Structures are given as C-alpha cells and as structure tokens.
C-alpha cells in the first residue's frame, strides 16, 4: 500500500496491542485511499477473522443487535474475531437513531476489536466520534500514485505511455481505486469498455444470448456487486424451472465459493472467472429475470415434527446460522431443493407431505 504512512502505522499498532477496554478505531478518509484494504490486510496478517457488517445489517437496531450480541471473541477455527463496520456514514445518515444508539453502547465495552470506516464526518456520528480513536486518511499524493501505477503496469505487462499515466493520475485526484479502474479501462478489450448494464438488462441479455461467449459479455458489463450478482442469479435460477437445475446450481455454488476466496485473498483479478461461471448458470435458462429469492412459505407447525427439528439443529451447527435463519431461510431452501429432486431425503420428503 502507498500513502498515509503515519496513519497506517497508528492503525497497525492499535491492533497489535489490542486488549479489551481499548477504544474502537474510526478511520475517516476519501474514497479509494485504502481504508477497507488496510483493515482486511492487517487483520489477515495478525490472524484475525473479520466479521464485516454491511449497510443492510446496520439499518435497524434489531438486526444489528441480533448480529452483534452473539459474536464470540473466537470463531470456530480458533481465530480471534475483529468486527468491521465499513462505510458507517452512509448507514447512519438515513435517520436511524436506534442503530446508532446501539452502536454507541456496543463499542464501549466490546469484547473484540471494533474498526469502523467512513468517508465523511457526519453530525449524526457524534457519539461514535467521542468514543473512538479517530484516524484520518488523506488522498494519495500524485507522485506515489504514479509509482504505484507503474509498478502495477510492470507486474501486469501492460504498456502505458508516460502521458497516459500522467493523465490517469491527474484525473484520479488521489483516489487509487479510480486510478486502477481507469488503467483497466484504457488497457482492456473493447467489451469491457462498453456501457455498464443494470441487473435486469444484464441477466436477460445473458439468458437470451445465442452463444455462451455473448452471455459472458453481458455478465461482464453487469453493474452490480459480485455478491448481488450471485443472489440475483440464484433467484433467477430457482424460479426458472430449468430441467438441468442441479447442474446449474452446482456452478452457482462454485461461484459462491470462489467469491469467498476472492474476498478473503483480495484476488480481484479472479472476478472474471466468476463472470464465466454466472454466464454458464444463466445462458439458455427458461423463464425470466427474478431478483427476489424463492417465495418460501414458512408454516410454523411443521417445525414441531421431529425430523424438521433435527434438520434445523444440524443446520445451525453445520452452516453456522442462528435458529431463526435456519428456520426461515435454510429449511425452506432445503425443502425447495428436495421438491425439485436436487437433494434426496425420503424421510424429510414424507414429513413435508
Ligand atoms: N493506499 C493504497 N495503496 C495501494 N492500493 C490502494 C490504496 N488504496 C486503494 N487502493 C486500491 O484501490 C482499491 C479500493 O481501495 P479500498 O476499498 O481500500 O478504498 P477505501 O478507502 O475503502 O474506499 P471507500 O471509502 O470508497 O470505501 C483497493 O482494492 C486497491 O486496489
Ligand atoms: Mg471502503
């Protein structure tokens, strides 16, 4: 990483010497300066498991509380846990005081290190500011950005003229993410330069493409987070009634596993393989776009049947989810897969009937 050497040093030392009772960390700084990257990288270096909460987890107090109150300080593999609340300014600005209040209390006596990051200082975050060690990130200086871009160009065997690099640096205005993306744009194949597509357009395009290669093009231009791509692909697949659903579902499952690795190892270049897999799931699918997960029906009396009980209990342990999630999401998913014949479990099928 480049830039903000002093700030980065403070952050790393904070984690190195962390013990219960220490104030949480709040990193404030402009986009693309490495806040998220640093937190993930140092956690990785120090052997922490990062429990990352996103905007939708933080929207309501109930959700936040249910996620945070159950965190243990060590995960199932014996790694210490670090809680990372990224982009908190975006979340708390939507006028949800309950979530903010809860956070304020949580960070005061958390049993695990808590790191937060944000772009701006917002008035609504006052309480959190008071209770945190605030560290500021600044834009990446041009000279350092230029060195980094040249370094990347060397590693990737990309040839860019001095002028091109200068232009990218100038236009990026200290945003390293933007600079790297720009570099990608000016060097890559025409298809990636094309207009970005909203979800529906991209998915439909991929489904109805005459060839697999064309599908890949649509998915590459799909303008959505990889996780969202996976969710929407799942919803679309499960609602399609495809004959070969099992095979497609296997590809989707592999894509999901790959995504996890990409995140964990920060191997963003692997994203293109994710696109290849998603295109495989979607190409030629009967039925159209669907962005809502399977319309499961949750019928409560069923949980009283012993086989449901035992399955739910297993799911809790094997899939590391709470009872509520097992009952409301995992079990209906399991039912669904059994109904489709993707999973065979005759006892369970009888209980369903
Ligand atoms: N200081 C840096 N040194 C090297 N690369 C960087 C740096 N900052 C950002 N990058 C590159 O930009 C990408 C995005 O950075 P990151 O997500 O860490 O930014 P951020 O500060 O969290 O931005 P945001 O405020 O938008 O969340 C990284 O994956 C990395 O490739
Ligand atoms: Mg970030």
pLDDT at 74: 79
Domain positions in the chain are 5-136, 142-187, 194-282, 300-352
The CA-based diameter of the chain, rounded to the nearest angstrom, is 70
CA of 74 to the centre of ligand 2 (A): 25
pLDDT, mean of each 10-residue run, the chain (353 residues): 97 94 95 94 93 69 77 78 84 64 86 91 83 97 96 87 93 91 73 69 87 89 88 86 90 92 86 92 86 50 72 86 73 83 87 80
The residue nearest atom 8 of ligand 1, judged by CA position, is: 34
pLDDT at 253: 93
pLDDT at 240: 81
Q: Cα(first)–Cα(last) distance of the chain, in Å?
A: 57
Superfamily of domain 5-136: P-loop containing nucleotide triphosphate hydrolases (3.40.50.300)
pLDDT at 324: 67
pLDDT at 203: 92
pLDDT at 9: 97
pLDDT at 10: 97
pLDDT at 205: 87
The residue nearest atom 7 of ligand 1, judged by CA position, is: 34
pLDDT at 115: 96
Q: Which atom of ligand 1 is nearest to the CA of 30?
A: 25
184 touches ligand 1 (CB under 6 Å): no
Question: What is the rounded distance in angstroms from the CA atom of residue 87 to the CA atom of residue 67?
Answer: 17
pLDDT at 19: 92
79: left (phi over 0), alpha (psi -120 to 50) or beta: beta
Using CA atoms, how far residue 57 sits from 25, 54, 186, in Å, is 19, 5, 36
pLDDT at 123: 77
pLDDT at 251: 93
Question: What is the rounded distance in angstroms from the CA atom of residue 252 to the CA atom of residue 50?
Answer: 24
2 touches ligand 1 (CB under 6 Å): yes
Q: Which helix (H) or strand (E) holds 135?
A: strand 133-136
182 touches ligand 1 (CB under 6 Å): no
Write out the residues surrounding ion ligand 2, Cβ under 5 A: 35-36
CA of 34 to the centre of ligand 2 (A): 7
Sheet holding 49-53, edge to edge: 49-53, 81-85, 114-118, 25-28, 133-136
pLDDT at 93: 54
Q: Which residue among 7, 27, 31, 34 has the greatest number of ligand 1 atoms within 8 angstroms of its CB, and so is best to mutate?
A: 34
**Using DSSP, how many helices (H) and how many strands (E) does the chain show?**
19, 5
């Amino acid at each position: 990483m480049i830039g903000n050497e002093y700030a980065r040093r403070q952050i790393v030392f904070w984690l190195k010497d962390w013990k219960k009772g220490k104030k949480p960390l709040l990193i404030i700084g402009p986009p693309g300066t490495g806040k998220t990257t640093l937190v993930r990288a140092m956690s990785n270096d120090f052997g922490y498991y990062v429990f990352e909460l996103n905007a939708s987890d933080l929207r309501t107090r109930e959700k936040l509380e249910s996620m945070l109150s159950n965190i243990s300080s060590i995960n199932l593999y014996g790694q210490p846990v670090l809680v990372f609340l990224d982009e908190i300014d975006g979340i708390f600005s939507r006028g949800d005081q309950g979530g903010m209040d809860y956070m304020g209390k949580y960070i005061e006596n958390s049993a695990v290190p808590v790191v937060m990051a944000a772009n701006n200082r917002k008035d609504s975050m006052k309480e959190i500011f008071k209770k945190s060690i605030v560290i500021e990130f600044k834009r990446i200086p041009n000279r350092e950005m230029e060195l980094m871009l040249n370094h990347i160009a060397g590693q990737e065997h990309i040839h860019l003229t001095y002028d091109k690099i200068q232009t990218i640096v100038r236009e990026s205005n200290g945003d390293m993410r933007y600079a790297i993306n720009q570099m990608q744009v000016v060097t890559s194949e025409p298809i990636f330069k094309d207009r970005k597509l909203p979800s529906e357009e991209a998915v439909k395009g991929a489904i109805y493409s005459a060839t697999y290669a064309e599908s890949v093009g649509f998915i590459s231009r799909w303008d959505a987070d990889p996780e969202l791509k996976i969710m929407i692909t799942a919803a679309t697949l499960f609602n399609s009634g495809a004959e070969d659903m099992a095979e497609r579902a296997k590809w989707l499952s592999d894509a999901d596993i790959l995504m996890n690795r990409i995140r964990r190892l920060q191997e963003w270049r692997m994203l293109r393989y994710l696109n290849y897999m998603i295109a495989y799931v979607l190409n030629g699918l009967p039925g159209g776009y669907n962005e809502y997960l399977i319309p499961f029906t949750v019928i409560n009396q069923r949980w009283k049947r012993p086989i449901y009980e035992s399955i739910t209990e297993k799911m809790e342990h094997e899939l590391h989810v709470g009872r509520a999630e097992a009952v409301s999401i995992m079990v209906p998913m399991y039912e669904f897969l059994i109904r489709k014949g993707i999973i065979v479990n005759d006892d369970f099928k009888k209980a369903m009937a």
